[in-house]
Structure 1
Protein backbone atom coordinates (compact mmCIF):
# COMPACT_ATOMS: atom_id res chain seq x y z
CA UNK A 1 0.00 0.00 0.00
CA UNK A 2 1.38 3.42 -0.93
CA UNK A 3 1.80 6.17 1.69
CA UNK A 4 -0.71 8.41 -0.06
CA UNK A 5 -3.35 5.71 -0.19
CA UNK A 6 -2.80 4.59 3.40
CA UNK A 7 -3.11 8.10 4.81
CA UNK A 8 -6.16 8.78 2.67
CA UNK A 9 -7.80 5.67 4.11
CA UNK A 10 -6.55 6.61 7.57
CA UNK A 11 -8.08 10.06 7.29
CA UNK A 12 -11.36 8.52 6.16
CA UNK A 13 -11.36 6.22 9.20
CA UNK A 14 -10.80 9.18 11.51
CA UNK A 15 -13.69 11.06 9.90
CA UNK A 16 -15.93 7.98 10.03
CA UNK A 17 -15.14 7.57 13.72
CA UNK A 18 -16.13 11.17 14.43
CA UNK A 19 -19.38 10.87 12.45
CA UNK A 20 -20.25 7.55 14.04
CA UNK A 21 -19.72 9.01 17.51
CA UNK A 22 -21.93 11.99 16.72
CA UNK A 23 -24.72 9.77 15.39
CA UNK A 24 -24.53 7.41 18.37
CA UNK A 25 -24.39 10.19 20.96
CA UNK A 26 -28.18 10.64 21.51
CA UNK A 27 -28.77 6.91 22.07
CA UNK A 28 -26.09 6.42 24.72
CA UNK A 29 -26.15 6.91 28.52
CA UNK A 30 -24.59 10.01 30.04
CA UNK A 31 -21.88 7.85 31.63
CA UNK A 32 -20.54 5.21 29.27
CA UNK A 33 -18.92 1.98 30.35
CA UNK A 34 -15.34 2.18 29.12
CA UNK A 35 -13.49 -0.42 31.17
CA UNK A 36 -14.21 -4.04 32.00
CA UNK A 37 -12.36 -6.30 34.44
CA UNK A 38 -11.13 -9.83 33.78
CA UNK A 39 -14.55 -11.23 34.66
CA UNK A 40 -16.20 -9.05 32.03
CA UNK A 41 -17.79 -6.77 34.63
CA UNK A 42 -17.89 -3.00 34.16
CA UNK A 43 -15.46 -1.28 36.52
CA UNK A 44 -15.00 2.09 34.84
CA UNK A 45 -17.24 4.72 33.30
CA UNK A 46 -16.55 7.95 31.37
CA UNK A 47 -18.79 10.88 30.37
CA UNK A 48 -20.04 10.03 26.90
CA UNK A 49 -18.75 13.20 25.23
CA UNK A 50 -15.24 12.35 26.38
CA UNK A 51 -15.62 8.64 25.64
CA UNK A 52 -16.87 9.20 22.09
CA UNK A 53 -14.48 12.05 21.36
CA UNK A 54 -11.47 10.09 22.52
CA UNK A 55 -11.54 7.67 19.59
CA UNK A 56 -11.26 10.11 16.66
CA UNK A 57 -8.77 12.25 18.59
CA UNK A 58 -6.57 9.26 19.39
CA UNK A 59 -6.82 7.98 15.83
CA UNK A 60 -5.88 11.38 14.40
CA UNK A 61 -2.93 11.65 16.79
CA UNK A 62 -1.67 8.19 15.82
CA UNK A 63 -2.09 8.95 12.13
CA UNK A 64 0.04 12.06 12.56
CA UNK A 65 2.65 10.16 14.56
CA UNK A 66 2.87 7.38 11.98
CA UNK A 67 3.35 10.00 9.28
CA UNK A 68 6.20 11.66 11.16
CA UNK A 69 8.11 8.54 12.26
CA UNK A 70 9.86 7.80 8.92
CA UNK A 71 11.03 11.41 8.77
CA UNK A 72 12.47 11.66 12.29
CA UNK A 73 13.94 8.17 12.60
CA UNK A 74 17.75 8.36 12.27
CA UNK A 75 17.41 5.17 10.23
CA UNK A 76 14.48 6.46 8.21
CA UNK A 77 15.96 5.18 4.97
CA UNK A 78 15.53 1.67 6.34
CA UNK A 79 11.84 2.31 7.00
CA UNK A 80 11.45 3.14 3.32
CA UNK A 81 12.58 -0.39 2.47
CA UNK A 82 9.44 -1.85 4.09
CA UNK A 83 7.20 1.18 3.58
CA UNK A 84 4.37 -0.81 1.96
CA UNK A 85 4.04 -3.05 5.02
CA UNK A 86 4.45 -0.09 7.36
CA UNK A 87 1.66 1.87 5.68
CA UNK A 88 -0.66 -1.14 5.70
CA UNK A 89 0.02 -1.49 9.44
CA UNK A 90 -1.02 2.15 9.92
CA UNK A 91 -4.39 1.43 8.33
CA UNK A 92 -4.88 -1.76 10.35
CA UNK A 93 -4.19 -0.01 13.67
CA UNK A 94 -6.72 2.71 12.87
CA UNK A 95 -9.25 0.13 11.66
CA UNK A 96 -8.79 -1.76 14.92
CA UNK A 97 -9.52 1.40 16.93
CA UNK A 98 -12.60 2.08 14.81
CA UNK A 99 -13.78 -1.48 15.48
CA UNK A 100 -13.09 -1.04 19.20
CA UNK A 101 -15.22 2.11 19.17
CA UNK A 102 -18.07 0.21 17.52
CA UNK A 103 -17.84 -2.58 20.11
CA UNK A 104 -17.86 -0.12 23.03
CA UNK A 105 -20.83 1.75 21.57
CA UNK A 106 -22.73 -1.50 21.01
CA UNK A 107 -22.09 -2.58 24.59
CA UNK A 108 -23.38 0.74 25.90
CA UNK A 109 -26.39 0.65 23.60
CA UNK A 110 -27.63 -2.47 25.36
CA UNK A 111 -26.36 -5.27 23.17
CA UNK A 112 -25.20 -8.23 25.25
CA UNK A 113 -21.98 -10.03 24.37
CA UNK A 114 -18.61 -10.91 25.85
CA UNK A 115 -16.30 -7.97 25.13
CA UNK A 116 -13.07 -9.94 24.90
CA UNK A 117 -14.78 -12.52 22.69
CA UNK A 118 -15.88 -9.78 20.31
CA UNK A 119 -12.40 -8.26 20.23
CA UNK A 120 -10.48 -11.52 19.81
CA UNK A 121 -10.69 -11.75 15.98
CA UNK A 122 -9.59 -8.14 15.52
CA UNK A 123 -6.74 -8.51 18.00
CA UNK A 124 -5.71 -11.74 16.28
CA UNK A 125 -5.64 -10.04 12.89
CA UNK A 126 -3.45 -7.27 14.30
CA UNK A 127 -1.02 -9.75 15.86
CA UNK A 128 -0.87 -11.70 12.61
CA UNK A 129 0.05 -8.61 10.65
CA UNK A 130 2.73 -7.75 13.21
CA UNK A 131 4.24 -11.03 12.07
CA UNK A 132 4.01 -9.93 8.44
CA UNK A 133 5.57 -6.57 9.31
CA UNK A 134 8.32 -8.26 11.34
CA UNK A 135 9.29 -10.40 8.36
CA UNK A 136 9.98 -7.27 6.30
CA UNK A 137 11.15 -4.72 8.88
CA UNK A 138 14.67 -3.36 8.60
CA UNK A 139 16.57 -1.94 11.56
CA UNK A 140 15.04 1.30 12.86
CA UNK A 141 14.21 3.02 16.13
CA UNK A 142 10.39 2.89 16.12
CA UNK A 143 9.02 -0.26 14.46
CA UNK A 144 9.76 -3.89 15.25
CA UNK A 145 11.52 -5.72 18.08
CA UNK A 146 13.69 -2.96 19.45
CA UNK A 147 16.02 -4.29 22.10
CA UNK A 148 19.55 -2.95 22.78
CA UNK A 149 20.87 -5.97 20.89
CA UNK A 150 18.73 -5.71 17.75
CA UNK A 151 19.31 -1.96 17.50
CA UNK A 152 23.06 -2.53 17.76
CA UNK A 153 23.40 -5.11 14.98
CA UNK A 154 21.82 -5.60 11.57
CA UNK A 155 22.51 -9.33 11.81
CA UNK A 156 20.89 -9.70 15.22
CA UNK A 157 17.94 -7.59 14.03
CA UNK A 158 17.39 -9.83 11.01
CA UNK A 159 17.76 -13.11 12.86
CA UNK A 160 15.47 -12.00 15.69
CA UNK A 161 12.74 -10.80 13.32
CA UNK A 162 13.03 -13.88 11.12
CA UNK A 163 12.52 -16.01 14.22
CA UNK A 164 9.71 -13.91 15.71
CA UNK A 165 7.66 -13.28 12.54
CA UNK A 166 6.02 -16.73 12.32
CA UNK A 167 5.52 -16.77 16.08
CA UNK A 168 3.56 -13.50 15.98
CA UNK A 169 1.43 -14.95 13.18
CA UNK A 170 0.77 -18.02 15.30
CA UNK A 171 -0.11 -15.79 18.28
CA UNK A 172 -2.61 -14.04 16.02
CA UNK A 173 -4.30 -17.29 15.09
CA UNK A 174 -4.46 -18.36 18.75
CA UNK A 175 -5.86 -14.98 19.80
CA UNK A 176 -8.58 -15.19 17.15
CA UNK A 177 -9.65 -18.55 18.59
CA UNK A 178 -10.76 -16.65 21.67
CA UNK A 179 -13.93 -15.84 19.76
CA UNK A 180 -14.77 -19.55 19.77
CA UNK A 181 -13.69 -20.31 23.35
CA UNK A 182 -15.06 -17.43 25.45
CA UNK A 183 -14.08 -19.04 28.77
CA UNK A 184 -10.42 -18.79 27.77
CA UNK A 185 -10.61 -15.77 25.47
CA UNK A 186 -8.56 -13.45 27.67
CA UNK A 187 -5.82 -16.04 28.13
CA UNK A 188 -5.70 -16.78 24.40
CA UNK A 189 -5.52 -13.09 23.51
CA UNK A 190 -2.88 -12.05 26.06
CA UNK A 191 -0.63 -15.01 26.87
CA UNK A 192 0.73 -15.94 23.41
CA UNK A 193 1.82 -12.44 22.42
CA UNK A 194 3.48 -11.88 25.80
CA UNK A 195 5.31 -15.18 25.45
CA UNK A 196 6.48 -14.34 21.91
CA UNK A 197 7.62 -10.86 22.98
CA UNK A 198 9.61 -12.24 25.91
CA UNK A 199 11.10 -14.99 23.78
CA UNK A 200 12.14 -12.49 21.10
CA UNK A 201 13.89 -10.28 23.66
CA UNK A 202 15.81 -13.23 25.14
CA UNK A 203 16.61 -14.57 21.67
CA UNK A 204 18.01 -11.19 20.58
CA UNK A 205 20.36 -11.15 23.57
CA UNK A 206 21.49 -14.72 22.94
CA UNK A 207 22.10 -13.99 19.26
CA UNK A 208 24.06 -10.85 20.12
CA UNK A 209 26.31 -12.85 22.38
CA UNK A 210 26.62 -15.65 19.81
CA UNK A 211 27.64 -13.47 16.86
CA UNK A 212 29.92 -11.37 19.04
CA UNK A 213 28.45 -8.11 17.69
Structure 2
Protein backbone atom coordinates (compact mmCIF):
# COMPACT_ATOMS: atom_id res chain seq x y z
CA UNK A 1 0.00 0.00 0.00
CA UNK A 2 1.63 3.24 -1.11
CA UNK A 3 1.84 6.25 1.14
CA UNK A 4 -0.64 8.45 -0.74
CA UNK A 5 -3.33 5.77 -0.93
CA UNK A 6 -2.97 4.64 2.69
CA UNK A 7 -3.30 8.14 4.10
CA UNK A 8 -6.19 8.90 1.76
CA UNK A 9 -7.94 5.83 3.19
CA UNK A 10 -7.10 7.11 6.67
CA UNK A 11 -8.67 10.50 5.94
CA UNK A 12 -11.80 8.78 4.63
CA UNK A 13 -12.06 6.64 7.78
CA UNK A 14 -11.73 9.68 10.03
CA UNK A 15 -14.35 11.53 7.98
CA UNK A 16 -16.78 8.59 8.08
CA UNK A 17 -16.42 8.33 11.85
CA UNK A 18 -17.06 12.07 12.21
CA UNK A 19 -20.12 11.89 9.94
CA UNK A 20 -21.51 8.97 11.96
CA UNK A 21 -21.13 10.97 15.17
CA UNK A 22 -22.78 14.03 13.64
CA UNK A 23 -25.74 12.04 12.28
CA UNK A 24 -26.17 10.16 15.56
CA UNK A 25 -25.99 13.23 17.78
CA UNK A 26 -29.71 14.12 17.81
CA UNK A 27 -30.68 10.53 18.66
CA UNK A 28 -28.22 9.91 21.47
CA UNK A 29 -29.04 10.29 25.18
CA UNK A 30 -27.56 13.29 26.99
CA UNK A 31 -25.25 10.94 28.89
CA UNK A 32 -23.89 8.14 26.70
CA UNK A 33 -22.66 4.80 27.96
CA UNK A 34 -18.94 4.61 27.21
CA UNK A 35 -17.68 1.93 29.62
CA UNK A 36 -18.97 -1.53 30.28
CA UNK A 37 -18.12 -4.14 32.92
CA UNK A 38 -17.20 -7.77 32.37
CA UNK A 39 -20.84 -8.87 32.44
CA UNK A 40 -21.91 -6.13 30.02
CA UNK A 41 -23.34 -3.69 32.56
CA UNK A 42 -22.75 0.01 31.99
CA UNK A 43 -20.25 1.38 34.52
CA UNK A 44 -19.38 4.72 32.97
CA UNK A 45 -21.15 7.51 31.10
CA UNK A 46 -19.95 10.59 29.22
CA UNK A 47 -21.79 13.70 27.94
CA UNK A 48 -22.77 12.97 24.36
CA UNK A 49 -20.82 15.84 22.79
CA UNK A 50 -17.63 14.53 24.36
CA UNK A 51 -18.46 10.88 23.66
CA UNK A 52 -19.23 11.49 19.99
CA UNK A 53 -16.22 13.77 19.46
CA UNK A 54 -13.64 11.65 21.24
CA UNK A 55 -12.98 8.83 18.79
CA UNK A 56 -13.09 10.90 15.57
CA UNK A 57 -10.85 13.48 17.25
CA UNK A 58 -8.43 10.82 18.46
CA UNK A 59 -8.38 9.28 14.99
CA UNK A 60 -7.49 12.62 13.40
CA UNK A 61 -4.69 13.20 15.91
CA UNK A 62 -3.28 9.70 15.38
CA UNK A 63 -3.36 10.09 11.60
CA UNK A 64 -1.38 13.30 11.88
CA UNK A 65 1.05 11.75 14.36
CA UNK A 66 1.65 8.66 12.25
CA UNK A 67 2.36 10.88 9.24
CA UNK A 68 4.90 12.97 11.17
CA UNK A 69 6.70 10.33 13.25
CA UNK A 70 8.86 8.85 10.45
CA UNK A 71 10.04 12.37 9.60
CA UNK A 72 11.19 13.19 13.13
CA UNK A 73 12.54 9.76 14.07
CA UNK A 74 16.37 9.87 14.28
CA UNK A 75 16.22 6.41 12.68
CA UNK A 76 13.64 7.43 10.09
CA UNK A 77 15.61 5.79 7.29
CA UNK A 78 14.90 2.45 8.95
CA UNK A 79 11.15 3.13 8.92
CA UNK A 80 11.34 3.51 5.14
CA UNK A 81 12.38 -0.16 4.95
CA UNK A 82 9.02 -1.34 6.35
CA UNK A 83 6.87 1.60 5.27
CA UNK A 84 4.28 -0.61 3.56
CA UNK A 85 3.58 -2.49 6.80
CA UNK A 86 3.68 0.76 8.79
CA UNK A 87 1.11 2.43 6.55
CA UNK A 88 -1.15 -0.63 6.59
CA UNK A 89 -1.03 -0.61 10.40
CA UNK A 90 -2.10 3.05 10.38
CA UNK A 91 -5.13 2.19 8.26
CA UNK A 92 -6.05 -0.78 10.46
CA UNK A 93 -5.76 1.31 13.63
CA UNK A 94 -8.02 4.02 12.19
CA UNK A 95 -10.47 1.37 10.95
CA UNK A 96 -10.56 -0.09 14.46
CA UNK A 97 -11.32 3.31 16.01
CA UNK A 98 -14.05 3.95 13.44
CA UNK A 99 -15.56 0.55 14.23
CA UNK A 100 -15.32 1.24 17.96
CA UNK A 101 -17.23 4.49 17.42
CA UNK A 102 -19.89 2.54 15.52
CA UNK A 103 -20.19 0.01 18.36
CA UNK A 104 -20.60 2.77 20.97
CA UNK A 105 -23.25 4.53 18.89
CA UNK A 106 -25.13 1.28 18.24
CA UNK A 107 -25.09 0.34 21.93
CA UNK A 108 -26.48 3.75 22.89
CA UNK A 109 -29.09 3.56 20.14
CA UNK A 110 -30.64 0.59 21.90
CA UNK A 111 -29.19 -2.33 19.99
CA UNK A 112 -28.48 -5.23 22.33
CA UNK A 113 -25.22 -7.17 22.00
CA UNK A 114 -22.20 -8.09 24.06
CA UNK A 115 -19.61 -5.34 23.72
CA UNK A 116 -16.62 -7.67 24.22
CA UNK A 117 -17.95 -10.09 21.61
CA UNK A 118 -18.50 -7.28 19.13
CA UNK A 119 -14.97 -5.96 19.62
CA UNK A 120 -13.11 -9.28 19.79
CA UNK A 121 -12.69 -9.85 16.02
CA UNK A 122 -11.48 -6.28 15.47
CA UNK A 123 -9.04 -6.44 18.39
CA UNK A 124 -7.82 -9.85 17.22
CA UNK A 125 -7.18 -8.51 13.74
CA UNK A 126 -5.19 -5.61 15.15
CA UNK A 127 -3.11 -7.91 17.38
CA UNK A 128 -2.42 -10.23 14.46
CA UNK A 129 -1.21 -7.40 12.28
CA UNK A 130 1.05 -6.17 15.06
CA UNK A 131 2.71 -9.56 14.61
CA UNK A 132 3.08 -8.93 10.89
CA UNK A 133 4.48 -5.46 11.56
CA UNK A 134 6.88 -6.85 14.17
CA UNK A 135 8.27 -9.33 11.66
CA UNK A 136 9.25 -6.46 9.32
CA UNK A 137 10.04 -3.59 11.70
CA UNK A 138 13.58 -2.22 11.72
CA UNK A 139 15.03 -0.41 14.71
CA UNK A 140 13.32 2.93 15.35
CA UNK A 141 12.05 5.04 18.25
CA UNK A 142 8.28 4.81 17.78
CA UNK A 143 7.12 1.44 16.40
CA UNK A 144 7.81 -2.05 17.71
CA UNK A 145 9.19 -3.46 20.95
CA UNK A 146 11.06 -0.43 22.24
CA UNK A 147 13.01 -1.34 25.36
CA UNK A 148 16.39 0.12 26.37
CA UNK A 149 17.98 -3.07 25.07
CA UNK A 150 16.29 -3.31 21.68
CA UNK A 151 16.86 0.39 20.98
CA UNK A 152 20.56 -0.02 21.83
CA UNK A 153 21.31 -2.96 19.54
CA UNK A 154 20.25 -3.96 16.02
CA UNK A 155 20.87 -7.60 16.86
CA UNK A 156 18.75 -7.53 20.02
CA UNK A 157 16.02 -5.67 18.13
CA UNK A 158 15.96 -8.27 15.37
CA UNK A 159 16.05 -11.29 17.67
CA UNK A 160 13.35 -9.90 19.97
CA UNK A 161 11.02 -9.09 17.10
CA UNK A 162 11.59 -12.49 15.51
CA UNK A 163 10.51 -14.06 18.79
CA UNK A 164 7.43 -11.94 19.46
CA UNK A 165 6.01 -11.69 15.92
CA UNK A 166 4.39 -15.16 15.98
CA UNK A 167 3.29 -14.62 19.58
CA UNK A 168 1.38 -11.46 18.66
CA UNK A 169 -0.28 -13.38 15.83
CA UNK A 170 -1.25 -16.11 18.29
CA UNK A 171 -2.64 -13.46 20.67
CA UNK A 172 -4.74 -12.20 17.76
CA UNK A 173 -6.20 -15.65 17.15
CA UNK A 174 -6.99 -16.03 20.86
CA UNK A 175 -8.66 -12.61 20.89
CA UNK A 176 -10.93 -13.58 17.99
CA UNK A 177 -11.82 -16.78 19.85
CA UNK A 178 -12.95 -14.60 22.77
CA UNK A 179 -16.09 -13.79 20.77
CA UNK A 180 -17.20 -17.39 21.31
CA UNK A 181 -16.71 -17.43 25.08
CA UNK A 182 -18.11 -14.14 26.42
CA UNK A 183 -17.63 -15.19 30.05
CA UNK A 184 -13.86 -15.11 29.52
CA UNK A 185 -13.72 -12.48 26.80
CA UNK A 186 -11.92 -9.78 28.79
CA UNK A 187 -9.31 -12.27 29.98
CA UNK A 188 -8.71 -13.63 26.49
CA UNK A 189 -8.46 -10.13 25.04
CA UNK A 190 -6.03 -8.73 27.61
CA UNK A 191 -3.96 -11.55 29.11
CA UNK A 192 -2.21 -12.96 25.99
CA UNK A 193 -1.01 -9.59 24.68
CA UNK A 194 0.09 -8.52 28.17
CA UNK A 195 2.03 -11.77 28.44
CA UNK A 196 3.71 -11.17 25.08
CA UNK A 197 4.73 -7.65 26.12
CA UNK A 198 6.20 -8.93 29.39
CA UNK A 199 8.02 -11.76 27.63
CA UNK A 200 9.44 -9.35 25.04
CA UNK A 201 10.80 -7.05 27.75
CA UNK A 202 12.45 -9.86 29.70
CA UNK A 203 13.76 -11.57 26.57
CA UNK A 204 15.33 -8.37 25.22
CA UNK A 205 17.13 -7.80 28.53
CA UNK A 206 18.68 -11.26 28.63
CA UNK A 207 19.44 -11.22 24.91
CA UNK A 208 21.26 -7.92 25.31
CA UNK A 209 23.38 -9.42 28.06
CA UNK A 210 24.00 -12.55 26.00
CA UNK A 211 25.30 -10.73 22.92
CA UNK A 212 27.33 -8.31 25.07
CA UNK A 213 26.06 -5.30 23.17
TM-score (norm 1): 0.98
The SS at the match of 1:142 is coil
Matches within 5 A, 1:8-27: 8-27=8-27
CA RMSD of aligned residues (A): 0.7
Q: Does the 8 A contact of 2:32 with 2:108 survive in 1?
A: yes
Q: Which runs of 5+ in 2 are unaligned?
A: none
CA separation in 2, counterparts of 1:157 and 1:144?
Answer: 9
Q: What is the aligned partner in structure 1 of residue 202 from structure 2?
A: 202
CA separation in 2, counterparts of 1:162 and 1:51?
Answer: 39
1:77-101, Cα deviation, whole Å (9 max, x unpaired)? 0000000000000000000000000
CA separation in 2, counterparts of 1:53 and 1:197?
Answer: 31
Q: Does the 8 A contact of 2:39 with 2:183 survive in 1?
A: no
Q: Which runs of 5+ in 1 are unaligned?
A: none
TM-score (norm 2): 0.98
Q: Does the 8 A contact of 2:171 with 2:193 survive in 1?
A: yes
The SS at the match of 1:70 is helix
Q: What is the aligned partner in structure 2 of residue 112 from structure 1?
A: 112
Q: What is the aligned partner in structure 1 of residue 184 from structure 2?
A: 184
Q: What is the aligned partner in structure 2 of residue 92 from structure 1?
A: 92
1:92-111, Cα deviation, whole Å (9 max, x unpaired)? 00000000000001110111
Q: Does the 8 A contact of 2:125 with 2:172 survive in 1?
A: yes
